Amino acid sequence: MDIVTGNLGWIEAICGPMFSGKSEELMRRLRRAIIARKRVQVFKPLIDQRYSSDEIVSHNDLRMKSQVIQRASEILPLLDPRTEVVGIDEANFFGPDLVEVATQLADGGKQVMIAGLDTDYMGRPFPPMAELLSLAESITKTLAICMRCGNPAKHTQRLVESNDLIVVGAGGMYEARCRRCFEPGVPKQAFLEFTVPKAKS
């Protein structure tokens, strides 16, 4: 509890695969907080420079100004003490330190909204989001549309070959897939076999 203002802090987690509307939902909540005249600070990791260097951006081009940081440990020193709501996008790019930082913020009376991938390209729980889900007061899981069959999709399908946990990219490198269509890792390519017709003797 914040002794001065009596604010009760908490953690709201927004998780799901890529293209499921996590950033959209985060910005919707942050905009509402701004309308409610709350002081808001937004952070995003430096690694994610896909669309803009000082804004969080959704795949349908909603934007909001944010502070760009390399490590979760930079959040506390950059925090204005008057800030009431802290938004963090692309949490999956921050290491396990984010768990401690988010806990400290919430314990200190801040309303913490965190969006990030909950599973990786293999379908495994993705730290630190997986842990944050068990510590959060509220969890929203967003689903995308499967690009194969149109069903609700909870997986992020990697389309390029790499064994690295983090490969930054959007268009063409990843797509949303449902449980049935998901192929952990990289999808097997369907090779076409061409047979050369035999010459007539």
| Residue 176 binds ligand ADP (CB under 6 A) | yes
Near ligand ADP by CB under 6 A, which window of 14-22, 66-74, 118-126, 187-195?
14-22
Q: Say how many C-beta atoms besides its own lie within 10 A of residue 67's C-beta.
A: 13
- Burial label for 132, CB within 10 Å (0-12, 13-18, 19+), is buried
Near ligand ADP by CB under 6 A, which window of 31-39, 56-64, 68-76, 95-103?
56-64
Near ligand ADP by CB under 6 A, which window of 18-26, 96-104, 120-128, 184-192?
18-26
Q: Which two tokens stand for residue 121?
A: 């390209």
| Residue 19 binds ligand ADP (CB under 6 A) | yes
| Residue 55 binds ligand ADP (CB under 6 A) | no
Residue in 84, 30, 22, 83 with CA at minimum distance from that of residue 48: 22
User: What Cα–Cα distance (Å) separates residue 11 from each residue in 50, 84, 145?
Assistant: 26, 12, 27
Q: By CB under 6 A, name the one of 15, 18, 79, 136 that touches ligand ADP.
A: 18
- Within 78-97, the residues that bind ligand ADP by CB under 6 A are none
What separation, in Å, do the N-terminal and C-terminal C-alpha atoms of the chain show?
A: 90
Specify the residue, 150 or 185, whose C-beta has the smaller distance to ligand ADP: 150
| Residue 40 binds ligand ADP (CB under 6 A) | no
Whether residue 90 lies in the annotated active site? yes
Residue in 38, 60, 39, 42 with CA at minimum distance from that of residue 51: 60
Please list the residues that pair with 63 across neighbouring strands. 57
Residues lying near ligand ADP in the complex (CB under 6 A): 16, 18-24, 58-60, 144-145, 147, 176
